[in-house]
């Protein structure tokens, strides 16, 4: 008897895309390609978060806060990418609009078309000629919600998405970056080590909602890994746990400026693996 028909991804749409996507390939027309970087895209209801880290990370043991970063760490950290914002679909093109970007503002918009071939979703860039291969990761449903945030004290923008047991969080830097230059050039041209570190102070993190709390597992700021995000709703504010440049614990108070879905913070809302 023939076996079951292979599963096929649904056609890409704003309704079918929510979940976790892992990139296995990006290729450019000149023959360059990347198959080794860690790239995860978490799509929530309308809003998304994306974290991209190259291989070859230096040893971060002994780095407990921003002020501990040395030049060897800064050079690698500046090669990371990540962004947060809203995904829109117009005239056959998907656009990942960026509220927060780890790299300086790009010249081109982030637009592409998506289609499915077997169990791979393919993305082709519009303004920049590239091809990316994306794979949907198995992920429980449970609580699914997303929020745009604004820091009450600093005005910095933030974003938070939860999808079952997984979350991604973003906080923009306060330092102003020169536009249209790679972050590697920005930190290399910084006046001193303090300013180079400030250019890197943009957090895009991925983690798990567990019985022990919301624990960061990967981050553009590696000293955040293993630490709790500890989100809590207090009135109309969302509080998260963080640290300053010297490692002193602090609480950030976020106003929720855009909420998609019902915020649930407990581990019981993780759902069953789909």
pLDDT per position as a tens digit, 17-61:
999 999 999 999 999 999 999 999 999 999 999 999 999 999 999
Query: Can you list the pairs that 178-181 forms with residues at least 24 positions away whose Cβ atoms lie under 8 Å?
Result: 178/104, 179/104, 179/105, 180/104, 180/105, 180/106, 180/107, 181/104
- Domain borders along the chain are 19-263
**What's the mean pLDDT in 168-176?**
97
Q: What pLDDT, on the 0 to 100 scale, is given for residue 272?
A: 60
Binning pLDDT at 50, 70 and 90, where does residue 7 land?
low
The pLDDT tens digits for 247-262 are 999 999 999 999 999 9
Q: Which of 73-87, 102-116, 199-213 shows the lowest per-residue confidence on average (mean pLDDT)? A: 102-116
Give the whole-angstrom CA distance, residue 52 versus residue 133.
14
Which of 2.40.128.280, 1.20.120.80, 3.10.180.10, 1.20.1600.10 is the CATH number of 19-263?
2.40.128.280
CA 29 to chain CA centroid, Å, is 26
The residue count for the chain: 274
Indicate the pTM of the whole model.
0.95
Task: Tell me if 65 sits within 8 A of 246, measured CB to CB.
Answer: yes
Which of 102-106, 177-181, 220-224 is least confident?
177-181
Contact 214, 223 (CB under 8 A): no
Rounded Cα distance, 43 and 66, in Å: 29
- In 171-210, which positions are buried (b, 16+ CB within 10 angstroms) versus exposed (e)? bbbeeebeeeeebeebbeebeeeeebbbbbbbbbbbbbbe
As a whole number, mean pLDDT of residues 138-163 equals 95
The answer on pLDDT for 274 being more than 50 is: no
pLDDT band at 141 (very low <50, low <70, confident <90, very high): confident
Rounded average pLDDT over 92-121: 95
Residue with more model confidence, 141 or 164: 164
Tokens of residue 59, six digits: 């040893």
pLDDT of residue 202: 98
Average pLDDT, the chain: 94
pLDDT by residue (tens digit) across 72-97? Answer: 999 999 999 999 999 999 999 999 99
Whole-number Cα distances in Å, 79 to 12, 55, 220: 29, 10, 10
What distance in Å separates the CA atoms of residue 241 and residue 216, rounded to the nearest whole number?
Answer: 11
Q: State yes or no: pLDDT of 105 exceeds 80.
A: yes
Give the residue from 80, 56, 105, 100 showing the smallest Cα distance to 184.
80
Q: Residue 107 — very low, low, confident or very high, per pLDDT cuts 50/70/90? A: confident
Would you state the pLDDT for residue 45?
A: 98
CA 66/CA 245 separation, integer angstroms: 5
């Amino acid at each position: 008897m023939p076996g079951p028909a292979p599963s096929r991804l649904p056609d890409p749409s704003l309704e079918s895309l929510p979940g976790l996507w892992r990139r296995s390939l990006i290729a450019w027309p000149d023959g360059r390609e990347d198959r080794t970087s860690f790239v995860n895209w978490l799509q929530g209801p309308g809003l998304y978060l994306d974290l991209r880290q190259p291989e070859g990370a230096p040893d971060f043991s002994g780095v407990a806060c921003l002020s501990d970063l040395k030049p060897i760490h800064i050079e690698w950290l500046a090669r990371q990418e990540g962004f947060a914002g809203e995904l829109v679909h117009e005239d056959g093109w998907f656009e990942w609009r960026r509220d927060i970007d780890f790299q300086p503002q790009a010249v081109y918009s982030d637009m592409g078309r998506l289609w499915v071939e077997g169990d791979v979703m393919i993305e082709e860039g519009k303004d920049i000629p590239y091809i990316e291969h994306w794979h949907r990761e198995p992920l429980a449903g449970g609580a699914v919600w997303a929020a745009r945030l604004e820091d009450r004290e600093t005005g910095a923008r933030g974003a938070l998405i939860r999808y079952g047991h997984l979350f991604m969080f973003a906080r923009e830097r306060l330092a102003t970056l020169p536009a249209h230059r790679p972050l590697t050039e920005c930190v290399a041209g910084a006046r001193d080590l303090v300013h180079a570190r400030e250019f890197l102070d943009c957090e895009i993190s991925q983690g798990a909602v567990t019985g022990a709390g919301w624990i960061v597992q990967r981050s553009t700021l590696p000293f955040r890994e293993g630490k709790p995000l500890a989100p809590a709703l207090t009135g109309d504010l969302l509080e998260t746990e963080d640290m300053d440049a010297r490692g002193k614990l602090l609480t950030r108070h976020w106003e929720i400026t855009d909420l998609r879905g019902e915020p649930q913070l407990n581990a019981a809302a993780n759902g069953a693996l789909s």
